[in-house]
A and B are shown apart, each in its own frame.
Chain A
Amino acid sequence: MISVSKLTKRYGDLVAVNNLSFEVGKGEVVGFLGPNGAGKSTTLRIIAGFLGQTSGKVEVCGHDVALDSIEARRSIGYMPEAVPLYPEMRVVEYLTFRAELKNVERSKRSKSIDAAMEKAGVADRATSVIGKLSKGYRQRVGLADALVASPPLLILDEPTAGLDPNQIRDVRKLLRELGKEHTVVLSTHILSEVESSCTRAIVIAKGKLVAEGSIADIGRRSRSPALVLVVRGDAAKAEEKLKELDVFSGITVEITDEVATFRCAWKKRADAPENTERAVAALVGAGLAIRSAAPEQSKLEDVFAELTTEEPAKGDDKE
């Protein structure tokens, strides 16, 4: 569906996108993640045909976006970040204009418009003037616009930005629905959005690819912030032994009938593998039985902070 190779975009001295390569296959719902200013919007704008790249190649459905731009644009439904609309038009007038612009056949036009409004949840505001709609509704009009020609590929730049929690939930639900019929690429700086609606994530920071893979993959690649130990035996003694090691910044314990579960936050995450061995050895040496020792599953939010503030992925395993 999308093939981006060695994409670079410069604005004068500023490198907004730096040698970025990735692919998006048919039927995927890909979350394009990064902090503000990472180059997400720039990349999406290049794919959508609004901006030209400085170097590199971008293909959408086999069409080069620079050389065969109009054909490439035909297969894309794009919703820009700010959802710019003509305030003087009514919703249905605007969507009619957009459907015509996107060559939706006259005979199918009103059906497509109705279907798009239904999906995006603006059917009840069809005759409202756009300028008088709330932010949430305008966002939905933008979404209906992206859907109106039923393109195989949807590119949505921050589809939930500026919405209230209820609206966000609606949009996420809609995204999951859309994923069944369309290939979707959405950008966001909120990880839970990717967790809730995407099959895969592409993480960029400062215009570079930082991580790519399934949501679980990316989680695994980041270093866990804590070690979780389940110990049978004298909990107080175990805690004392763990403290003696002086590698944890904080230890919390939860005791049930038989076992004690320790959550030990690392002082230095980089030494986690060695220190895990030492902790286990110390407990075993003190005659305690260990039921489990595992790194705490980190939340995507933490992963994100980790991945985007450090140098690119390679260093993760080494340190």
Chain B
Amino acid sequence: MKAFWPIFKRELFAFWVTPLAWVLTCVFLVVQGLHFSVLVKNFAEMGQVESDQTPISAFFGNTVLLYLVLFLLVPPMTMRLFAEERRAGTIESLMTAPVSAPAVVLAKYGAALVTYAAMWAPTLLYVVILGRSGSVDWHVVGASYLGVLLVGAAYLSLGLLMSALTKSQFIALVLTALVLLVLFIVGIGEFVTRDGTMLHDICAYLSVWAQMNDFASGVVDSRRVMLDCTLIALPLFLSARVVDSWRWS
């Protein structure tokens, strides 16, 4: 695991030294900024609102915009992680250094996760702005950011696995987008399947939509957290296996 730190640093460097991360961050912040300002304006015009309806909960929950943003953000972030190294051949230098497959996978994943968190960091300003003009439920803020972090972490993990499966960044991008889309659609299944059926329960359990609604109203359900942890750990484990398998192909 000694190899984790240098690879982690190099990956962060690769993210931020190329325009990709900056472009993604700009687009992300513009979209989120617009989203926030529209929300705040609406809330201001509404006057009387129920106490469980706040700009924060509307920002993170019950909105398709969050998924749209993640859907546009995650695939380009993860597509190059392995695909680019394999296309350019740098994977040969990397894997002939004394490094283990898990260390490589975790380092790359860690760098992507930190970048993702860094992109969200400026949105904390919105909370500060809200706090200036009214009261903010920090419990809800904490839960919401935890939710966003967990969902993002799961998405990034899936994206990393897709990137390990192909030498083409573009195919990695498309595969990741597809997987995320399927995951989202399965979640929507909760609303179209009949209540009480097993399919309905499965869809409800896997629903990122329902999860973010929970988190955005301050409810941290351990089942949701477990699902996210599974969606993080399983692709990472599989990625490490895939990386190992390259030697034997």
Q: Do A and B bind each other?
A: yes
* A243 CB within 8 Å of chain B: no
Segment from A68-76, A214-222, A292-300, A307-315 that makes contact with B: A68-76
Q: Which residues of A contact B (CB under 8 A)?
A: 45, 48-52, 70-71, 73-74, 76, 78, 80, 82, 84-86, 88-89, 93, 97-98, 100-103, 145
- Contact among A78, A80, A86, A102 for B14, CB-based, below 8 A: A86
Which residues on B sit within 8 Å (CB–CB) of A49?
95-96, 247
Does A101 lie within 8 Å of B7, measured CB to CB? yes
Task: Give min CB distance, B147 to chain A, whole Å.
Answer: 34
The reply on B99 being an interface residue by CB < 8 A is yes
Q: Are B96 and A76 in touch, CB under 8 angstroms?
A: yes
Residue B35 CB within 8 A of the other chain: no
Contact call B17/A88, Cβ cutoff below 8 A: yes
Chain A residues with CB under 8 A of B88: 84
Residues in B whose Cβ lies below 8 Å from that of A78: 93, 96
- B89:A84 contact, CB within 8 angstroms: yes
Residue ranges of B at the interface with A (Cβ–Cβ < 8 Å): 2-3, 5-7, 9-10, 13-14, 17-18, 88-100, 247-248
Q: What residues on A are CB-neighbors of B17 within 8 Å?
A: 88-89
Query: Do A73 and B7 touch (CB < 8 A)?
Result: no
Q: Is the CB of A82 within 8 A of B89?
A: yes
Nearest A residue to B94 by beta-carbon distance? A101
Bound-state CA distance A89–B3 (Å) is 18
Q: List 13 A-B contacts (CB under 8 A).
A: A49-B95, A50-B92, A50-B96, A73-B98, A80-B93, A85-B90, A86-B90, A88-B13, A97-B9, A100-B5, A101-B94, A101-B97, A145-B93
Additional A-B contacts beyond A49-B95, A101-B3 (6; CB < 8 A): A49-B96, A50-B92, A73-B98, A78-B93, A88-B14, A101-B6
A76 and B97 CA atoms in complex are apart in Å by 8
Query: Measured between C-beta atoms, what is the minimum distance from A89 to chain B in Å?
Result: 7
Q: Assess the B89–A97 pair: CB atoms within 8 A.
A: no
What's the least CB distance linking A69 to chain B, in Å?
8
In angstroms, how far is the closest chain B Cβ from the Cβ of A57?
15
Query: Which chain A residues border B2 with CB–CB below 8 Å?
Result: 103
In the docked arrangement, what's the CA distance between A45 and B17, Å? 31
Within the complex, the shortest CB–CB distance from B203 to chain A, in Å, comes to: 42
Residues of chain B within 8 A of A88, CB atoms compared: 13-14, 17-18
Q: Which residues of B contact A89 (CB under 8 A)?
A: 10, 13, 17
Asked if A100 meets B90 with Cβ closer than 8 Å, knowing A49-B95, A73-B97, A88-B14, the reply is no
Q: How distant is the Cα of A190 from the Cα of B5 in the complex, in angstroms?
A: 40
